[in-house]
Structure 1
Amino acid sequence: MADYKPNRKIPCVYMRGGTSKAVFFRDEDLPQDVAERDKVILSAFGSPDRRQIDGMGGASTSTSKVAVIKKSSRPGIDVDYSFGQVDVTAPIVGKTMNCGNISSAVGPYAIDEGLVKAVEPMTEVHIFNTNTQKEIVAQVPVKDGRTVTEGDFAIDGVPGTAAKVTLKFVAPQGAASGKLLPTGHVKDSIAVDGTTYEYSFIDAANPVIFVHPEDFGVSGTEIPAEFNALPNCQEICRVLEIIRGTGAITLGFAKDLDDARKNSQTLPKIAFVRRPVDYTAGSGKAISAKDIDLVGRLFSVNMKMIDAYMGTGAICTITAANTPGTIVNEIVCGRGKRPDNHAAHIRIGHPWGIMDAYADLKDNPDGTHTVLSGNLDRTARRIMEGWVYVRD
């Protein structure tokens, strides 16, 4: 009989943040060696396996995420937060990006774990995201020393209502490249198989490449199931991946398109954006053009359209809206819709409803505006706490 090796158990918390879910670990409970840590996380999630049947993963990018938290030694910062996108089908824990939705659960986690002192009625948690080297400030409601989770605030993509958590992404520009415009231009173009595609490449909170859905023969209002059912879906995704891969090369994340496809799936993201139009969300909710400022569709790992909208994607979108000449700016502020060419608040129509994004702006002498922080209102909830058993 082979030697029996019992599974190790590691403390963890399972949390929803916005429209995503993640397993939260304390840094000290995981191996400090990077390779060993990744092995533990992959085992905890049951990856790689498209069903993640033997772990905590939910078999989608939105539910296969990990957050590692520790008390910070940085001045003015409460906790350090490292995000990981756990690949469902490959043994990869992507660490080049942050997740805005999961960021909304970091403050509540830190308070309830005793890493931050609870101050009623609102505790401000200063978070340092190690992936982007940026600060996030979370405003978390508390009572009797614990995070308040029940409330009357609702976000599309999450059933019911909960307490509101406000996030401020401080100086989000240049999160991956150090520059707001990785190519140096507000617009670029690329020729693929004889067709030219226009795009805007913006790096804020996370880098996103924005393209016109019309250039690909789609409306941009499709929900994921409808998009996946298109007869030319595979061809559209092939071209999107070429554009996205070119962005990965620009960022220095890949040496060529094949390398980008295999080893830089998490960043950059790519998005369809178009002018407001009526459509029906995946929830069955009718979205009116008058209630939104643009329609957006984001794609994640393996070119999968996301059911809702990424938090960091929303921060990048509102930053792009305040950058004159970008595709997003022309949709949101163009054609005289906002004569002062700034957008302190935008409403993004996504596959499951509407997401609001806000910006604290500084007026510049030349009439432009600098985004001091991009802000989101989210909800978060602790779902489970205990141990996860990982295989040796």
Structure 2
Amino acid sequence: MTHKPQIKIPATYMRGGTSKGTFFKLTDLPEPCQVPGQARDKLLLRVVGSPDPYGAQIDGMGGATSSTSKTVILSKSEQPGHDVDYLFGQVSIDKAFVDWSGNCGNLSAAVGPFAISNGLIDPARVPKDGLCEVRIWQANIKKTIIAQVPMSNGEVQETGDFELDGVTFPAAEIQVEFVDPADDGEDGGSIFPTGKLVDDLAVPGVGTLKATMINAGIPTIFINADAIGYSGTELRDAINNDAKALAMFETIRAYGAVRMGLIQDIAEAAQRQHTPKVAFVAPAKTYTSSSGKAVEAGDIDLCVRALSMGKLHHAMMGTAAVAIGTAAAIPGTLVNLAAGGGDREAVRFGHPSGSLKVGAEAKLIDGEWVVKKAIMSRSARVLMSGAVHVPWDAF
């Protein structure tokens, strides 16, 4: 019996922030996969190695965590004033599902370097040395991201001494600015979809929780750690090895999604795994991070833990960091109160792998909170370039 060979598709495996994923140029994808639809989803599932009932993604590029089961498709931008269109697909590990509902803030740091190295940026805009400003159109949420990518002798600088908690080795610093992050991008709705800074969220089997529900960076539900029996200093195993806790957080997420207007019924939450996120906050405390490094209470403003794709994140999602920075800048939110309250333009929070600083400026205009930008520093690096191989019938 004759067997057809595998298909080879040009691709780059990249780390961006505390995530990594497989990057493609849109024009390198097989023609049926260059448009949204079943063929594209099937291809990306096969590339990453999903759905995998073993939860390991052994037969693909995924790393069996929400931080590593990611795909990115880039093309020259069709939006005025932008360089590159960035489409992000969060691939489910155990289900045949690609979630296109949100952005990956961490991988946003890798978009600029990939775009420069793969000819998606006008060469006239790329300096030989210094910083190259890349204006990114985030196609999932219809937002602008500006990345400052360091250049050295005409090439993207990847090595450096910038250290990012959650990433083992240092690299070159890339500043990422999220423009107008506190607008959901779909209907111009409020930062706070319930109209309140703090809401009472009734969750069957859990109780009525105080919650700040915000559309900034990514839709996020913030609750107080002590309201659900936690300190805010937990590491991954304390949550991810507790099936009852994971079920509780998913229930909170589902009911919060309904209150935020993201879904009409809690049953729809299973088909919207990437958004919203759930995070719990607590005042600053000293704890030991997952690497064994001490995080001192005096060095942070608060503690935050967040879940992504049903599991506690090993560090912090970039988009959730934007939500944290935005909420911290608005007096009266649970995040702001956990950080000590008052006005602030930046916040440093503790997460399982260490700490992260994010800046955001908020203003109250005509009774509505407006946040024009949120800024943080990340790093990115090419891990492997060449081609991914998939069976001929993968899509």
What TM-score results when the alignment is normalised by the length of structure 1?
0.92
CA contact (8 A) 1:296 1:348 kept: yes
Q: Counterparts of 2:370 and 2:264 in 1: how far apart (Å)?
A: 32
Q: Counterparts of 1:383 and 1:363 in 2: how far apart (Å)?
A: 40
Q: Counterparts of 1:67 and 1:194 in 2: how far apart (Å)?
A: 36
Partner AA of 1:8 in structure 2: I
Q: Tell me by how many angstroms 1:105 deviates.
A: 0.2
State the SS of the aligned residue for 2:80: coil
Q: Tell me by how many angstroms 1:226 deviates.
A: 2.4
Q: Counterparts of 2:34 and 2:74 in 1: how far apart (Å)?
A: 13
Q: Counterparts of 2:362 and 2:201 in 1: how far apart (Å)?
A: 33
State the SS of the aligned residue for 1:102: helix
| Structure 1 alignment gaps of length 5 or more | 335-340
Match of 1:271 in 2: 279
- Could you say if the C-alpha distance between residues 365 and 209 of structure 1 is closer, same or farther in structure 2, counting changes exceeding 3 Å? closer
- Could you say if the C-alpha distance between residues 190 and 370 of structure 1 is closer, same or farther in structure 2, counting changes exceeding 3 Å? closer
Q: Does 1:322 align with 2:329?
A: yes
From 45, 49, 69, the counterpart of 1:46:
49
Q: Counterparts of 2:362 and 2:34 in 1: how far apart (Å)?
A: 41
Q: Counterparts of 1:102 and 1:175 in 2: how far apart (Å)?
A: 20
Partner AA of 2:145 in structure 1: I
| Count of residues in Structure 1 that have an aligned counterpart in Structure 2 | 379
State the SS of the aligned residue for 1:246: helix
Q: Does 1:24 align with 2:35?
A: no
Q: Tell me by how many angstroms 1:318 deviates.
A: 0.8
From 84, 90, 94, the counterpart of 1:89:
94
Match of 1:10 in 2: 9
Q: Deviations over 1:225-247 (max 9, x none)?
A: 12334xxx333333322221123
State the SS of the aligned residue for 1:63: coil
Q: Tell me by how many angstroms 1:345 deviates.
A: 1.5
Q: Tell me by how many angstroms 1:7 deviates.
A: 1.3
Q: Counterparts of 2:214 and 2:77 in 1: how far apart (Å)?
A: 29
Match of 1:79 in 2: 84
From 213, 236, 245, the counterpart of 2:245:
236
Match of 1:152 in 2: 161
| Structure 2 alignment gaps of length 5 or more | none
Match of 1:310 in 2: 317
State the SS of the aligned residue for 2:290: coil
State the SS of the aligned residue for 1:36: helix
Q: Tell me by how many angstroms 1:252 deviates.
A: 4.4
Q: Counterparts of 2:307 and 2:22 in 1: how far apart (Å)?
A: 22
Q: Deviations over 1:72-118 (max 9, x none)?
A: 12111000000111111011111101011000000011111121132
Q: Counterparts of 1:266 and 1:365 in 2: how far apart (Å)?
A: 31
Partner AA of 2:348 in structure 1: R
From 199, 205, 225, the counterpart of 2:211:
199
Q: Counterparts of 1:289 and 1:194 in 2: how far apart (Å)?
A: 29
Q: Counterparts of 2:250 and 2:371 in 1: how far apart (Å)?
A: 29
Q: Counterparts of 2:75 and 2:218 in 1: how far apart (Å)?
A: 22
Q: Counterparts of 2:366 and 2:88 in 1: how far apart (Å)?
A: 37
- Could you say if the C-alpha distance between residues 114 and 74 of structure 1 is closer, same or farther in structure 2, counting changes exceeding 3 Å? same
Q: Counterparts of 1:21 and 1:323 in 2: how far apart (Å)?
A: 31
- Could you say if the C-alpha distance between residues 14 and 218 of structure 1 is closer, same or farther in structure 2, counting changes exceeding 3 Å? same
Structure 1 segment 1-392 matched on structure 2, within 5 A: 1=1, 3-30=2-29, 31-33=33-35, 34-49=37-52, 50-116=55-121, 117=123, 118-119=126-127, 120-175=129-184, 178-191=189-202, 192-193=204-205, 195-229=207-241, 233-260=242-269, 262-301=270-309, 303-334=310-341, 341-359=342-360, 361=361, 370-391=370-391, 392=393
Partner AA of 2:328 in structure 1: A
Superposed CA RMSD: 1.8
Q: Counterparts of 2:375 and 2:170 in 1: how far apart (Å)?
A: 20
State the SS of the aligned residue for 2:67: helix
Q: Tell me by how many angstroms 1:371 deviates.
A: 2.2
What TM-score results when the alignment is normalised by the length of structure 2?
0.92
